[in-house]
Amino acid sequence: MNKKILILSVFVVASCGLAYELIAGALSSYLLGDSVLQFSTIIGCYLFAMGVGAHFSKYVKDEDVLARFVDIELAVGLVGGLSAAILFMTFSWMAAPFRTMLYTMVFLVGAFVGMEVPLVMRALNQRQTAFNELVSKVLTFDYLGALAVSVLFPLVLAPTLGLVRTGFLFGMLNVGVALWTISVFRTELKNVTGRMLRASAVLCVLVVGFSFADKLTHWGEHGLFGDEIVYATTTPYQRLVITRWKDDTRLYINGNLQFSSRDEYRYHEALVHPVLETLPWAKRVLVLGGGDGLALREILRYQHIEHVTLVDLDPAMTTAFTQREELVKLNNASFSDKRVRVVNADAAQWLQHNDDMFDAVIVDFPDPSSFALGKLYSVPFYGMVRKHLAANGLMVVQSTSPFFAPHAYWTIDATLREVGMKTYPYHAYVPSFGEWGFILATPQATYTPPVSYRLPMRYLNADTTREMFIFPPDMKPLPMQPNRLNTQSLVHEFEQDWRRVIR
């Protein structure tokens, strides 16, 4: 029976160990971007630390194996359980030491986890377990635990509990293993009462943290964003936060500002109207991204538009901007218009499996700060978009800043030209973002910017439109290579451009 208890504990501790690794990777990706870099370096640091921990496990005396196993469970439960909360608070209130804290905590957790399995194997070996049975059972339950968490984390835990509360949950599981081990092997352990008290104290800390996780997250995000948070949720795809200060409502995705209600009209007028004003015959429009419905609001002002399909990956995004009163006011209840069809799906997969044709395509994705987003700015993706665009139709792409991220901006231009599109780059000044860029493209038509608008505009007129298509010397075109899917040079260009701005 005692052997089965030890083997079953391997399943739990393996689950916890992988959970802490996933939490660190997801949190750093949310906060720092470039998910491939974050997960790669965290996995490398974690595995190295496990090796260090496994090495030092040999210095544990045979008679102390169970006692040290209990101590390590309490240590990894405390450090791992608190890791997400500590990292989030560090980034929110003390951004400078975040990377140092991140890798320090990853290393500590990894070292503790690296000691767990060797100690369990030694404990089983002391109970005269055959070596082949010992190795096979321990590794089987170790891998099963990893499999369970790798499935549950993205599908259930992260979107339901959030990263901070998930960390506390797995910390409690580690402490549960410690308490279980103390209870089952109490005759073999010294100072049982003291160990039970320590385990109970750690458990209390984690339970309190779990109970107040939402308040901790809210406090941390208040430090990060400054304004009052009116809505926040973690989805399987991203972290959405909406803030308000006086009459200014702002949307952040993974900590990056998407719009400010004070000046978003500049961005969305510039995104939509240079296209649709020149297509009075257009009836069908495709919007890729734009789950806030603000571009949709501008499109629906044209009465000749008969149908709009909006494809956005995250249903939490479109639901919030369909149901929350203050957000519905911003997009003028655009999702309730009978001409609108909303599809929650990956844009690339939807394009690949759909045959619909459109007169205009509005591409309004977040900036290419990760490889998951970078694929939506690649040669294959734009090739698929072109197949859905009428020969004399127009498309426009949100293309980052030609001033702050010029290499990224002109890489997008080169990518569109690579698929045979004629491109017409332009830019607009949006106070919340600074100088921002768009690229209009067409398969065959010749484009001339409008000199007037049929609809009343808050920002656009003949003069501003003319100036948008003129690039001053400090935003001159750069000779860039297209963004191909296998290399995703755009993500690297984008990161380096903004790194130069921060410096």
Q: Which residues are catalytic?
A: 364
Cα angle, residue 260 at apex, residues 385 and 495 outer, rounded to 5°: 60
Residue 315, beta-bridge partner list? none
Determine the residue type at 429: Y
DSSP 220-258: HHHHHH-SEEEEEEE-SS-EEEEEEETTEEEEEETTEEE
Query: Length of the chain, please?
Result: 503
Name the CA dihedral angle for 267, 272, 273, 274, rounded to a multiple of 10 degrees: 90
Exposure on the CB side of residue 194, measured as CA atoms within 13 A: 5
Tell me the torsion sign for CA atoms 330, 350, 438, 304: negative
DSSP code of residue 313: S
Phi, psi of 359 (to 5 degrees): -80, -25
CA 412/CA 381 separation, integer angstroms? 12
Token pair, residue 424, equals 């017409």
- 320, exposed or middle or buried, with CB in 10 Å at 0-12, 13-18, 19+? buried
**Quick check: helix, strand or coil at residue 398?**
strand
Residue 275, beta-bridge partner list? none
For 166, residues 6+ apart whose C-beta sits below 8 A from its C-beta are 19, 23, 84, 153, 157, 158
Contact yes or no for 169/210 (Cβ under 8 A): yes
Tell me the CA distances in angstroms from 358 to 66, 114, 271, 313, one per residue in order: 67, 55, 17, 20
**Lookup result for tokens 């290499």:** 407
- Indicate the pairing of strand 284-289 with strand 256-260: unpaired
Contact yes or no for 429/501 (Cβ under 8 A): no
CA 236/CA 452 separation, integer angstroms? 43
- Indicate the pairing of strand 340-343 with strand 307-311: parallel
CA 70/CA 82 separation, integer angstroms? 18
DSSP 296-338: HHHHTT-TT--EEEEE-S-HHHHHHHHH-HHHHHHTTTGGGST
DSSP code of residue 448: -
Helices (H) and strands (E) in the chain, counts: 18, 11
CA 481/CA 389 separation, integer angstroms? 24
The closest of 74, 76, 88 to 27, measured between CA atoms, is 88
